[in-house]
Amino acid sequence: MKVKIYDATGSLTSKSVTLSDDVFGIEPNNHAIYLDVKQHLANRRQGTHKTKERAEIAGSTRKIKKQKGTGGARAGSVKSGTRVGGGRIFGPRPRNYHFKLNIKLKRLARKSAFSFKAQNEGLMVLEDLAFANAKTKEFVNLMNALQLSNQKVLLILGDKNDSVYLASRNLGKVKVVTADSVNTFDVLNAKKVVMTSSSVGRIEEILN
């Protein structure tokens, strides 16, 4: 599949790049995508949630009232989870939500995500960027030129570029990553995936 390359002014150039059908032209595997996104979101969880249970509540151990003869239910502790101010019954405890997936499945999920974007006109290829200064204004002008302002954009670079990263980090709807750190969730979460020309070959090399 051939795709035209845009320049930094938002204009189509005479150059084009051929996207590999093995990465950008497969039939998307929905279950692989589901598992990879599920793992990504699970691994992001801190798992530090904690509530106090009955044994951890500060309070008297005195029996509240006599066992029988009051006409009410038995009550032996103010720390009971059935009473206001008592401990939480079976409350959350710190835990690790991480789980592993096979590398072949994760590659299939990323290929499926890229193929889905390609089929739905969600991919763009851009010339390699070279910002003289790390200015947000320059990056905003680039997004406006590409008609991507106020859209969720994932920009994939071939190699690390501090100027581009610093220029974009104040923009809430733009995320900049390198080809070796892109994940399925980010690809699907973006309205438009913009790849620099040097990142295309790097992505195909990693996923193949």
Averaged pLDDT for residues 133-153: 90
CB-CB neighbours of 3 under 10 Å = 17
Percent of the chain residues topping a pLDDT of 70: 100
- Same domain, yes or no, for 62 and 131? no
- Alpha-carbon distance of 144 to 138, in angstroms, equals 10
- Cα–Cα distances (Å) from 50 to 43, 90, 94, in that order, read 18, 11, 6
Q: Kindly report the pTM of this predicted structure.
A: 0.84
Q: Are residues 142 and 173 in the same domain?
A: yes
Give the β-pairing of 2-6 and 12-18: antiparallel
- Give the pLDDT band (50/70/90) at residue 1: confident
The overall average pLDDT reported for the chain is 93
Could you read off the pLDDT of 73-106 as tens digits, one per residue? 999 999 999 999 999 999 999 999 999 999 999 9
Supply the pLDDT for residue 77: 93
Q: Which domain holds residue 141?
A: 2-45+98-207
Same domain, 125 and 181: yes
Number of domains comprising the chain: 2
Same domain, 41 and 25: yes
Q: What is the pLDDT of residue 130?
A: 80
Q: Is 55 a residue whose pLDDT tops 90?
A: yes
**How confident is the model over 117-141, as a mean pLDDT?**
89
Q: What confidence score (pLDDT) does residue 111 get?
A: 96
Q: Considering only CA atoms, which of 54, 128, 49, 38 is closest in space to residue 92?
A: 49
Nearest to 129 by CA among 170, 158, 169, 171: 158
Are 25 and 58 part of one and the same domain? Answer: no
Same domain? 84 vs 57: yes
**Are residue 191 and residue 154 in the same domain, yes or no?**
yes
Q: Distance between CA 5 and CA 10 in Å, rounded?
A: 10
Region at 47 (left for phi over 0; alpha for psi -120 to 50; beta for the rest) = left
Quick one: pLDDT at residue 11? 87
Q: Are residues 86 and 26 in the same domain?
A: no
What is the model's pLDDT at position 188?
96
Q: What is the pLDDT of residue 32?
A: 97
pLDDT of 26: 95
Q: Are residues 53 and 36 in the same domain?
A: no
- CATH number of the domain within which 29 lies: 3.40.1370.10
